[in-house]
A and B are shown apart, each in its own frame.
Chain A
Amino acid sequence: GIQVEQSPPDLILQEGANSTLRCNFSDSVNNLQWFHQNPWGQLINLFYIPSGTKQNGRLSATTVATERYSLLYISSSQTTDSGVYFCAVSFWNQGGKLIFGQGTELSVKP
């Protein structure tokens, strides 16, 4: 079955709007990371968050490991936030490799 599921698959926002991206996963994890893939294809580490809540500027993330989901919040979005956001997890029984979701493609319009 699906191991890592992200929603929504696509999102279009007006600059200044807020958004929430969701990641559901199918088993206990020892690692959860959020990435932003920019238009040049680079994977930028946003958060390492197997549990709890973290904030970095306009971005914050929360992982509720017992309920097997994580949320990425983007506030006051900017055009430079556009790109694809990936959630990736490492399951306890799979040796540390990351399993990626299919991503959320975000487009922020000026």
Chain B
Amino acid sequence: DAGVIQSPRHEVTEMGQEVTLRCKPISGHNSLFWYRQTMMRGLELLIYFNNNVPIDDSGMPEDRFSAKMPNASFSTLKIQPSEPRDSAVYFCASRPPGQGNEQFFGPGTRLTVL
């Protein structure tokens, strides 16, 4: 299996621009997670989906952030408008059925907002 696939791997944009991050989970996994890693806050969950339905979005920082999962093999995380404080590494992870099962992480997208 190819593992969790994320794109782009690096993104540099200017403040105010829209940013879209993409994730393809591992085939057969029914849960998808978006995490963010910053120096100040470490790794923290933004949102997760179960069977394409958002379950917990309590970590989404504000209305500028939105996430969708239109089907079992694709998810997006969008920031509009972007701000310099959004600069971070964004990880996507997926998990097979079962709440306590192992999560597998993608390579991450390093976002820099100038």
Q: Which residues of A contact B (CB under 8 A)?
A: 30-31, 33, 35, 41-43, 45, 48, 50, 86, 88, 90, 95-103
A41-B89, A102-B42 given as contacts; is B108 within 8 A of A48 (CB)?
Answer: no
Cα–Cα, bound, A45→B35 (Å): 15
Question: Which residues from chain B contact A98 at a C-beta distance below 8 Å?
Answer: 33, 35, 45, 93, 103
Main secondary structure of the interface of B (DSSP, over half): strand
Within 8 A of A (CB), among B32-60: 33, 35, 42-45, 48, 55-56
Q: A88: nearest residue on chain B (CB-CB)?
A: B43
Establish whether residues B100 and A41, one from each chain, have CB atoms under 8 Å apart when the complex forms.
Answer: no
Question: Which residues from chain A contact B55 at a C-beta distance below 8 Å?
Answer: 95
Question: Which residues from chain A contact B44 at a C-beta distance below 8 Å?
Answer: 100
Establish whether residues A42 and B107, one from each chain, have CB atoms under 8 Å apart when the complex forms.
Answer: yes
Would you list 27 pairs from A and B whose C-beta atoms are within 8 A, ordered by A residue? A30-B99, A31-B99, A31-B100, A31-B101, A31-B102, A31-B103, A35-B105, A41-B107, A41-B110, A42-B108, A43-B105, A45-B104, A45-B105, A48-B102, A90-B99, A90-B100, A95-B48, A95-B55, A95-B56, A96-B100, A97-B45, A97-B48, A98-B35, A98-B45, A99-B45, A100-B43, A103-B42
